[in-house]
Structure 1
């Protein structure tokens, strides 16, 4: 009888740990998808904005772009213009390797660049 209780307790602990692991993996997947979607941009938006446009008008068309994915998108891109604040986005056309970068300076879009990640 004692051996059977020990087996039941062990199985219950393993079950609880398994459920907890699945919950953590699910939470991580949701966070990763959310971070990527915060950095996805329709290529039409990139094409529509022009260098010299007001920063506020351009940013109103862009997603937040603030996530840990931003650091990965910076790698392999061209040098940022001096004194500019830049934002990076992934093309949402499913390729996953096209990056759009918008750099703002003095309240205007100073530069927009499209490049492929390595």
Structure 2
């Protein structure tokens, strides 16, 4: 009986960390999918919108952009126009290092910029 309990404990010691690792892996994949869903913009969308377009029309074409990588996307970009509110996204094309920035002011797209992620 003692031998059987020792085997059971040994098996649990081997299985529990494996399950923990699997949970962490699934969480990480979920976060990556979340980031991709909320930050990737097709370059065709970027090219289609123009300064002066309605903010609501432009935002309707964009994902939410609210992810934990938002602060990273801000780094290295041009200075934001005074009094504007900006949103940052990654290009869905290429190597994933191109950032698209859309700045809104007074209900209109005031400026758009693209730059390389540092």
Partner residue, 1:95: 95
Partner residue, 2:30: 30
| Displacement after TM superposition at 1:5 (Å) | 1.8
SS of equivalent residue, structure 2 residue 53: coil
Residue 39 (structure 2) pairs with residue 5 (structure 1): no
Q: TM-score, normalised by structure 1?
A: 0.91
User: Would you identify which runs of 4 or more consecutive aligned residues in structure 1 move more than 4 Å?
Assistant: none
| Displacement after TM superposition at 1:68 (Å) | 0.9
Figure out how many residues of one structure are paired with residues of the other and give that number.
118
Partner residue, 2:59: 59
Q: Point out where structure 2 has 5 or more consecutive residues left out of the alignment.
A: none
Q: TM-score, normalised by structure 2?
A: 0.91
Q: Which moved more, 1:27-36 or 1:1-10?
A: 1-10
SS of equivalent residue, structure 1 residue 101: strand
SS of equivalent residue, structure 1 residue 86: strand
Partner residue, 1:85: 85
| Displacement after TM superposition at 1:37 (Å) | 2.7
RMSD: 1.4
Q: Point out where structure 1 has 5 or more consecutive residues left out of the alignment.
A: none
